[in-house]
Homo-oligomer: A and B are copies of this chain.
Amino acid sequence: MSETWTISNDRYFDPEPSRRGVARQLYKSVRGAAIVSPHGHVNPGLLADPEATLGTPTDLFIIPDHYVFRMLYSRGIPLESLGIPGRKGVPVEEDHRKIWQLFAENFYLFRGTPTGLWLSDELTKVFGVEEKLTGESGQRIYDHLQSRLMEQKFSPRALFAQFNIEVLCTTDGAADPLKHHRRLNEEGWKHRIRPTIRPDAVMAVADAGWLEAIEDLAEASGTDIVNYRSFVQALEARRSFFRDMGAVATDHSALTPYTQRLTDTEVEAIFARALSGDANEEDAARFNAHMLVELARMSVEDGLVMQLHVGSLRGHNMQVAERFGPDKGADIPLSTEWTRSLRPLLNEYGNDARFRLILFTLDESTYARELAPLAGHYPALLLGAPWWFYDSPGGMRRYLDQTTETAGIYNLAGFNDDTRAFVSIPARHDMWRRVTCDWLAGMVVSGILDDEDAAEMASDLSYRLAREAYGLDEETSIRSS
């Protein structure tokens, strides 16, 4: 048997005793708080179907997690050998034990990374693994996990209860019929599992799949989409449906945050070109810039909180994209300009008390330079949690340090886990809670905060800010606006 695997109770805390003491106290007061997960990518089918299971250890930890297989791929391990489903009949490894073994032998690659920390937390705390994952222990741990995964108490619904999740928002296409959410609503889960409308596909007018997405939208909304005007109506109809199904927010991905209101003539012309299959990249960029302003207008009217995730160049590796499709760990961030880009949108709606816009960036150099000054001025703006490559202990600290000097913590939207890995949710929230408590403790022992303020801030960062940012406490008033 290999080394015993113990996870420190003081993980992510600074070792200096006075600071650690304060951090422990603060953490003690928030560790048990319910989880609010207002943005993420968990498959709602896992929870809608009481019989759903999490599959094999390889199904659970490797195949769907691009954080995991991107690292393995970067060190020369083919995606095929990891069982990642390929396009066009690419043959891939199907032996889950063999895949797990490869993962176990290379688990050392994750040393010091957030992925390594979440996995360690999940394996030890959720599944009770007691020896360190290595090539030597790999098969024993596989056996252990497999037997756990067959138990009823490791079913998604049982884990949902055990994880103490108060609310979990999913991310769904504009045309999605939300059948899982419907089933959950009927069972009384309406306020716990909420959909989020993400209409990216219907906005990408130059993409190959756009016409099909528009057809789906037309059908789902019962609207004949013949021009821009009817497109907007269809989108509004879907937003209304999502709201009725429990949604509190929308989500949008954009290469840049460039916004600009086009004239009706311009936007109708672009839309017409798109319907004829003639829209080009320039059209797409201008249409997107316009739609971001339009989506803000819709949010002012229907009260859905607008989320904007900016700056990922998707599918950077064309060879991987061709063989394996999107979301295969080849999305690479870009330098992002917010100040000028977002100005048209903010000048229209940034002062409107009915509007709330939450921004997520992959360019940390904009935290202190652009995002905190913007959020520290415009009433409508909040800053979303450190995103994607930055949801590490260090990434969280840089985010807190660089945004709160100017914007304070009350212009933040709290934490969200943004994960498709359901079982990693507690580990991710726990990391945030530990890091924020340690960060607050650092300010306490440097005379910047007193104990009373720090305790309230710990609770706000762990729980309350997320509820407030997404209007989870003001449902009725939003609904009636």
Contact = CB atoms under 8 A, between A and B. Distances in A.
A70 interface: yes
Contacts of A374: 316, 332
A111 interface: yes
Interface stretch (A192-200, A246-254, A345-353): A345-353
Query: Which of A313, A409, A446 has its CB near the most chain B CB atoms (within 10 A)?
Result: A446
A446 B441 CA distance: 14
Query: Which of A9, A362, A407, A450 has its CB near the most chain B CB atoms (within 10 A)?
Result: A450
B408 A12 contact: no
A205 interface: no
Contacts of A368: 364, 389-390, 395
Contact of A318 (B108, B347, B376, B381): B347
A214 interface: no
A11 interface: yes
B446 A12 contact: yes
A13 interface: yes
A408 B73 CA distance: 13
A368 B317 CA distance: 18
Interface in A11-34: 11-16, 18-19
Given A317-B350, A318-B347, A370-B333, A12 B448 contact: yes
A453 B108 contact: yes
Interface residues of A, number: 93
A113 interface: yes
Interface string A110-124: 111110010000000
Contacts of A364: 365, 368-369
Contact of A339 (B16, B333, B377, B409): B333
Contact of A109 (B365, B373, B408): B408
A73 to B, nearest CB: 7
Query: Which of A16, A75, A449 has its CB near the most chain B CB atoms (within 10 A)?
Result: A16
Nearest to A457: B111
A408 B377 contact: no
A335 B369 contact: yes
Contacts of A346: 316-317
A379 interface: yes
A364 B335 CA distance: 12
A453 B109 CA distance: 11
A319 interface: yes
B449 A351 contact: no
A450 B339 CA distance: 43
A8 B445 CA distance: 9
A103 to B, nearest CB: 14
Interface stretch (A156-164, A282-290, A293-301, A398-406): A398-406
A115 to B, nearest CB: 9
A340 B381 CA distance: 29
Nearest to A392: B405
A19 B17 CA distance: 12
Given A11-B446, A329-B376, A364-B365, 6 more contacts: A7-B447, A15-B19, A74-B376, A112-B448, A332-B374, A389-B406
19 contacts: A11-B446, A14-B16, A14-B446, A15-B445, A15-B446, A73-B377, A73-B379, A74-B379, A109-B408, A111-B409, A111-B457, A112-B404, A112-B449, A132-B450, A313-B340, A332-B370, A334-B339, A334-B340, A390-B405
Interface of A: 3, 7-16, 18-19, 70-71, 73-76, 108-114, 117, 132, 313, 316-320, 329-335, 337, 339-340, 343, 346-347, 350-351, 353, 362-365, 368-370, 372-379, 381, 389-390, 392-395, 401-402, 404-411, 443, 445-450, 452-453, 456-457
